[in-house]
Amino acid sequence: MKRIVNPFRYVAGVESLAIGAAGAVATAGLSTLSGQSFDGILHVHFAGTTFLEALAWQAVMWLVFASLLWLAAAISSTSSVRAIDVYGTNLMARLPLAVLLALDFMPGMEWLREVTPATPVEEIAMHAMSPVMILYAVLSLAVVVWFLYWSYEAFAVSANLRGWRAVWQFASCYVAAECIVRFAVAVVA
């Protein structure tokens, strides 16, 4: 059970990088199949992207966030911090994002892909309160918490940091990464 809750105590470096890379490829594939696209670390919206575009955005989001975490770890950790551990575990911590996109394939979710600005609000409200959408919302929230928890644990273990200092550094890096990625998306789009 400990290996599932916090796998970063057991897997790091090149191994976590390889597992994370496989997850990034799966996430990019699911992004393309579902018609969803990331325009932030956790912000997903419907916008068709090619597989290579989706993979490139996965790489950008990972590199920005992991680089900020590595910089924070290098500055504040009293022990030696290996970049491969920070980058590898951070990429592996992105695995829950594939699960987030896979939730779009739950039965009853097809209508969501057909919503346009012209869709009547009443129709959207009717679907939004359906049991499948409530289940989707609960599962999505759980996956987001899972992603954030794993991302924090990956950082804390790789940087050998604990306590509020690690929490504040992680949160600051997350907010900064979100801003940088959103800016990059706005510039490219």
What are 71-107's pLDDT values in tens digits? Answer: 999 998 888 899 999 999 999 999 999 999 898 888 8
Predicted local distance difference test score (pLDDT) of residue 43: 80
Interacting residues of 24 by C-beta distance below 8 A, sequence separation 6+: 55, 58, 59, 62, 91, 94
Interacting residues of 115 by C-beta distance below 8 A, sequence separation 6+: 46, 124
Beta bridge partners of 36: 46
Predicted local distance difference test score (pLDDT) of residue 41: 84
**Angle CA(183)–CA(185)–CA(186) in degrees, nearest 5?**
65
**Residue 49 scores a pLDDT above 90:** no
- Residue recorded with tokens 């992105």: 94
Predicted local distance difference test score (pLDDT) of residue 116: 67
